[in-house]
Chain A
């Protein structure tokens, strides 16, 4: 089943179309990375998915039911724009309030469990306004997790976290997803980090969803190649094409790119034996960031 499905979802503010005709599909159990530049329409889309913003047209379905249905709304946890906290209350108290608001049986126990999960137990009694940005982010995630929702909608949840915090948060997301089957719809600018956890991606640009792709498909499309710096790139290209039959071989400003061969040792040996001076040879793996930039570049040109 699809955790989130939108049909021709649009949202306009006056004459500006913030979200334009989006058909988004987030499979149940996925970690869906939602990528786009600032102002691309990520937050507006996420708000509509949670029922916090009203679409101008189109529809949102969660677990097969309209977003207005109370039973599905009880299954959503959110962290959108910034951690939604009462700054004069403690971290623990904020969680208890959230627990009471959603009617869970033991809000105090749940609050402590959520704090433990995001490694904030020691800051339980500290007022939210005295927490660092990273701690507030973690508390925001803990708030979203109260009541064990089936779907988490997180907008930039790792912003402001230190490297250790990012690693811990990644662990939390992976645990929630793998052990508890929670679907996570997450937007982030830290694409390197997103690529470590996401199983699916949606790329939004100027309010339009320009691509939806699974991690497996992305890996297929992001072709790896051997990057070689050699004293005569053109001659080396001819030699490699003749002797090693690569799928593609091309000369660029930064050197030679050989596709379809991943064993750098064989290529290095061939070049060395043929008298080339090899300065550098390594397997280049295209990451999500590069893929995104390439796609965005394409969009801009178009």
Chain B
């Protein structure tokens, strides 16, 4: 697993797409910060206490970041199959979990690097523009928020990996990334719940990957933290089991 991780990390750090995505992501956020579309750090991070800017924050802030990260994940993973390099990997690794685990780890590390850069650049630009960079939950709140996001990145990466391993088509991975990052599923469940008058259906949306990401807050809450960690782990595990099965069933 570690061998696949090392290999994949090296490939990622040598790809133009990785640097292009970082620049593009920060360019968009930077533009929004400069033009005051997202006036605070909370709004940039899509944290739940930005008032009327929350929606904007989660859609255009970290939601946008997740779309870009997801696209990168999908292209990177499907590249193994379109180039044929997967044949080299799977010949030498009999157990598919080695591939899934190594790949998941490298994507999660990549996502973490990207989110960190995004956070730092946003904070810096907000400070330069004289906007609020105040941390309502303090440094510890920020750190725990960051940990929550890392767990969500794992679940997000696992889902995209599953989509790519099942279909071997990057376009499917990109669509999955967009659907999750834009919170389409919780939105549909919420509308359906309201329409049918069943709050249970709306509540299910909170436990999707998008829903879990939306719960993350710069102000620490123990129950939310536990929900996000356990929810993310369950999603990651489920995708790993299904991904493993997809590799075993499909020829390379």
Q: Which single member of B15, B93, B249 contacts A73 (CB below 8 Å)?
A: B93
In the complex, A52→B251 CA distance in Å? Answer: 6
Question: Separation in Å of the A263 CB from the closest CB of chain B?
Answer: 51
A68 and B3 form a contact (CB under 8 A): no
Q: A97-B10, A101-B7 are contacts. A143–B88 as well, Cβ < 8 Å? A: yes
Inside 8 A of A70's CB, which chain B residues have their CB?
93-95
In the complex, A96→B3 CA distance in Å? Answer: 12
The stretch of B47-55, B78-86, B196-204, B223-231 in contact with A is: B78-86
Q: Is the interface of B mostly helix, strand, loop or mixed?
A: helix
Question: Separation in Å of the A234 CB from the closest CB of chain B?
Answer: 59
Inside 8 A of B90's CB, which chain A residues have their CB?
51-52
Question: Separation in Å of the A88 CB from the closest CB of chain B?
Answer: 7
Per the 8 Å Cβ criterion, residues 201-229 of A in contact with B are none
A89 and B94 form a contact (CB under 8 A): no
A84 and B94 form a contact (CB under 8 A): no
Residue A200 at the chain B interface, CB threshold 8 Å: no
Per the 8 Å Cβ criterion, residues 236-277 of A in contact with B are none
Question: Separation in Å of the A286 CB from the closest CB of chain B?
Answer: 36
B91 and A101 form a contact (CB under 8 A): no
Inside 8 A of B86's CB, which chain A residues have their CB?
84
B85 and A100 form a contact (CB under 8 A): no
Question: Separation in Å of the B100 CB from the closest CB of chain A?
Answer: 14
The 24 sampled A-B contact pairs (Cβ below 8 Å) are A52-B251, A53-B252, A54-B249, A68-B94, A73-B91, A73-B93, A74-B92, A76-B91, A77-B91, A78-B87, A78-B88, A78-B91, A83-B84, A88-B15, A88-B16, A94-B85, A97-B85, A100-B6, A101-B7, A101-B88, A101-B89, A101-B93, A103-B2, A103-B3
Residues of chain A touching chain B, judged by Cβ–Cβ distance below 8 Å, are 47, 50-54, 67-70, 73-74, 76-78, 80-89, 93-94, 96-98, 100-103, 143-144, 147, 153
